Amino acid sequence: MKKHELLVPVGNMECLYQAIANGADAVYGACQCFGARKFAKNFTNEEIVDAIRLCHLYGVKFYVTMNTLVKDSEVAAFLEQVEFLYKNGVDAIIMQDFGMISYVLNRYPNLEVHASTQLNNSSYDIVKLLYEKGVKRVVLSRELSLEEIEKIDVPIEKEVFIHGALCISYSGCCLMSSMIGGRSGNRGECAGSCRLPYQLYHGDKLLSDSKYLLSTKELNTSYRFRELLDSSIYSFKIEGRMKSPEYVGFITRMYRRLIDSNGNSFALDLENDQLKTIFNREFTIGHLFQCSTSELMNTSSPNHIGLVIGKVISCNNKKIGIRLEKALHQGDGIRFLESGKGLIVNYLYNSKGLLVSEVSKGDVCYIDNKIGLTDCETVSKTSDSLLMEELRELPDRKVPVTFSVNAHIGQAFTVSISDGVHTIAEQGSIVEKSITSPVSEEKIRTQLGKLGKSPFVSQEFDIDMDDDIFISLREINEIRRLLVDRLTSARMKVSYDPVIREVEFSQLSIPFDNSKSCSVFSEEQLKTCLQLGYQRIYVNDYSLFQKYQSHSCVYYSMSRCLYSLHSALPSRALVKDLCSFSGDGYFVGDYSLNVSNIYTAYYLYQLGISKICLSAELSTAEVNDFISLFYQKFHFYPNIEVLGYGAVIVMVIKDNILNLKKDDYSYYLKDLHQRLFPVYFDGIHTIILNYSVQSKLDLSSLDKRVSVRNQFYQEDSEVISEITKNT
């Protein structure tokens, strides 16, 4: 049978115990820094070592997420943490930062690196590039369909999210939380901007009022899991490092059963009902199975809504009467969906008014009205007391072992234990002929099989022995104890030699210029910028680029998140996703490449990029430091630009989720603070721009070696001319 990996999130030690006990093949968690979930509890260095050893004892792999962007001031600490994990036997490190991926692969040749979905692994080209660089596994973008995944015929391990929360934006492409609140999703600080209410406007006309227009349902592939098992996906990943230990235990158990039954779990309806009481924003099969927008989005609620269990049929100041569609127990949590009010059912009464611990499906129950409910609302169960109690009792996971015994008169009593990977032997005393009390094969089997609270369980015995022999039970027990201790130690040892190499950097020939550039949407803007003498003009419309490409200063601004990138590259382009840029051409890397340190820039130059726009999240001081640090390290000045004016793209979303007219630039999203975010549909993606066009940089203090870009959207010629004078 084809082997798959069930990969489970662990935000702390309690979640780890649940994941191991309920059947995870591998887990992923973070240390205190660089883990993309800054507000999870995470693991200390001491805990992470214990966690790795515990996982290995049970045959579980531990992957550490270090999948944030790394600034130059953090590189030393980042690499120190990588080396610490490397020396302590981590099975892989999951990374986003392209510079750190490239450097780590060179410095630590035996370390397995997985490319995080935060790297925006949405194209065949980036998967091919990562494989060629030595990345062992790629975590594919959630936006890819199963059909698209199957077409990526690169011999790399494919990891795919199969359950949990969905980002509405392509991962690694979301800057909204960073731009509006200073909390970077690329650095593990996401404030969940997509879970807030927005209004959609077309010009001054309100189209949609105060709904959660960017909030998705939870991914749940359980009913289509057989198709995933038949795919080329190796690792099935569950999202949820911020979730409770009970959630981790339940969802691990659920998908373990699906894998082991080849997708034929007979309890799936019950399990999904139970799951809804633990966490449920409504469920979707996601882009994996090419769901519609209505199947993807939950615009009515961004929070846990539970499992609908009945309807209020009577309500007064003292009691609420509920007709139940599903059973209710004392201690359950419920919510009334229309008002959002909720409570724990401390006292539960049956239809006769008697206190009971349970009321069954189809019956009427009563509860105390301690929340002031006034209307007959829909009732949802948001926590199941009996299920929570069950989940806190961890299953007893065991590692099967085989014992081999040689017991012949005149020879040393020899016993070995094997887990299929390690085989360990111990010798005892010389076997003697029994005078009065011979030991039987069954007795040897019984004593060796007494593995108690150890992580092992005896699966098979191979016993070669003479008749009428004497071996003391004490000796058998002592050998068993020694074997268990030695096997335990062997399983927890680092399984590879942590080789560390010096990284060498070759001198690159990168043309340098600090000319001013701009980005335009319309022909009027393009003509104006030609007249103003911009030396690079990035044109978003391909037909407009073709019309003016005879001008050497005109570049095509590529679309983002293309499935096939390299084949669409013209000779002059602003590129927004990673691939190998070999061949003739002048390619400018956009700020979407998230260049936050000098190593990322260096390795992008190696790929064939000629100029780089630094991350829009860097400060003026960080940009200036970048220049000097780059020169000190690589002995030439970087060819870079920064955004001086213009609205940064804060989200790139697959499909037309807001039902916009293509290339109509009069749409806006308004948030609770009355900020207006321009939004448009380009035929493939919904693009949201930041509400502000002002640069966060102090251009007057910027190093003069840096080029400045003005990014125009709806500005007319007069405004463009004025902005050009002042930047």
What's the CATH number where 530 sits?
A: 3.20.20
Model confidence band, residue 373 (pLDDT cutoffs 50, 70, 90): very high
Integer Cα distance of 286 and 440 in angstroms: 60
Residue 383 CA, chain-centre distance (Å), reads: 26
Which of 492, 507, 542 is the C-terminal boundary of a domain? Answer: 492
Is residue 38 scored above 80 in pLDDT?
no
What pLDDT, in 10s, does the model give residues 632-681? 999 999 999 999 999 999 999 999 999 999 989 999 999 999 999 999 99
In this structure, the answer to whether residues 535 and 627 fall within a common structural domain is yes
**Pick from 621, 630, 68: which is nearest to 612 by CA?**
630
Neighbour count for residue 156 (Cβ, 10 Å): 18
Which residues are bridge partners to 517 per DSSP? 536, 709
Tokens of 687: 């693009």
Which tens digit of pLDDT belongs to each residue from 382-428?
999 999 999 999 999 999 999 999 999 999 999 999 999 999 999 99
| Structure token pair of residue 189 | 């600080």
Residue 35 has pLDDT above 80, yes or no: no
Same domain, 635 and 557: yes
Binned at pLDDT 50, 70 and 90, residue 3 comes out as: confident
Specify the higher pLDDT residue, 172 or 401: 401
Whether 622 contacts 607, CB under 8 Å: no
Q: C-alpha distances in angstroms, 154 versus 147, 160, 173, 322, 668?
A: 14, 15, 24, 56, 40
For residues 291, 297, 302, 304, the Cα torsion angle rounded to the nearest 10 degrees is -40
HEC assignment per residue over 460-509 = EEEEEECCCEECCHHHHHHHHHHHHHHHHHHHHCCCCCCCCCCCCCCCCC
Give pLDDT tens digits for 492-551.
999 899 999 999 999 998 888 888 999 999 999 999 999 999 999 999 999 999 999 999
What is the per-residue pLDDT across 568-601, written as a single tens digit (0 to 9) for each?
788 899 999 998 887 778 999 999 999 999 999 9
pLDDT over 80 (residue 210): no
Q: Does position 316 have pLDDT exceeding 60, yes or no?
A: yes
On average, the pLDDT of the chain sits at 94
Angle, CA of 297, 299 and 304, to the nearest 5°: 90
Check whether residue 16 and residue 65 sit in a common domain: yes
377 plus 405 within the same structural domain: no
Q: Are residues 450 and 377 in the same domain?
A: no
Is the domain of 477 the same as that of 552? no
Is residue 278 included in any domain, yes or no? no
Nearest-angstrom CA–CA distance, 144 and 73: 35
189-198, 274-283, 512-521: which has the highest mean pLDDT?
A: 274-283
> For the segment 685-694, what is each residue's pLDDT rounded down to a tens digit?
999 999 999 8
Beta strands 517-520; 554-557: pairing state = unpaired
pLDDT tens digit string along 439-459? 999 999 999 999 999 999 999
Radius of gyration of the chain (CA): 31
511 inside domain: no
Q: Are residues 569 and 443 in the same domain?
A: no
* pLDDT given at position 387: 97
- For residues 351-379, give the mean pLDDT: 96
Q: Is the pLDDT of residue 696 over 70?
A: yes
Give 288's DSSP letter: G
Residue with tokens 């080029």: 707
In a domain, 283, yes or no: no
Residue closest to 48 by CA, chosen among 79, 108, 90, 95: 90
Distance between CA 91 and CA 7 in Å, rounded? 13
Query: What's the domain count of the chain?
Result: 5
For residue 664, how far is the Cα from the chain centroid? 33
Angle between the N-to-C axes of helices 98-107 and 598-607, in degrees from 0 to 180, rounded to the nearest 10: 80
Strands in 399-407's sheet, in edge-to-edge order, are 423-430, 412-418, 399-407, 456-465
- Closest by CA to 67, choosing from 109, 118, 26, 108, is 118
Reported as a single tens digit per residue, the pLDDT across 64-92 is 999 999 999 999 999 999 999 999 999 99
Indicate if the pLDDT at residue 40 is higher than 70. no
Answer yes or no: is 175 within a domain. Answer: yes
Q: From CA 198, how far away is CA 673, in angstroms rounded?
A: 10
Residue 175 has pLDDT above 70, yes or no: yes
- Structure tokens, 725: 């004078």
pLDDT band at 152 (very low <50, low <70, confident <90, very high): very high
With CA atoms as reference, report the closest residue to 563 among 235, 255, 156, 120: 120
| Cβ–Cβ under 8 Å, residues 299 and 284 | no
pLDDT in the model for residue 277: 97
Classify residue 302: in a domain, yes or no: no
Residue 341 CA to residue 334 CA, distance in Å, equals 9
What order do you get walking across the sheet with 649-654 strand by strand?
Answer: 205-211, 198-202, 667-670, 676-681, 685-689, 649-654
pLDDT at site 436: 86
* In a shared domain, residues 91 and 230: yes
Percent over 90 (pLDDT), the chain: 89
Q: Give the residue numbers spanning the domain of 259.
A: 5-166+218-264
Do 635 and 699 lie in one domain? The reply is: yes
Position of tokens 């955004």?
A: 643
- Asked if residue 295 is part of any domain, the answer here is no
Q: What 3-state class would DSSP assign to 602?
A: helix
Decide which of 364, 391, 418 is a domain's last residue.
Answer: 391
Q: How would residue 2 be classed by pLDDT, with cut points 50, 70 and 90? A: low
Cβ contact 82:62 at 8 Å: no
Q: Are residues 595 and 718 in the same domain?
A: yes
**What DSSP state is assigned to residue 660?**
P
Mean pLDDT of 272-280: 97
**Residue 188 within any structural domain of the chain:** yes
Note whether 18 and 152 are same-domain residues: yes
Residue 508 inside a domain? The answer is no
Domain stop point among 236, 264, 292: 264
Which residues have C-beta within 8 Å of that of residue 307, sequence separation ≥ 6?
Answer: 273, 276, 277, 280, 326, 380, 381
Q: Residue 1: which pLDDT band, with cuts at 50, 70 and 90?
A: very low
Q: How far apart are CA 448 and CA 460, in angstroms?
A: 11
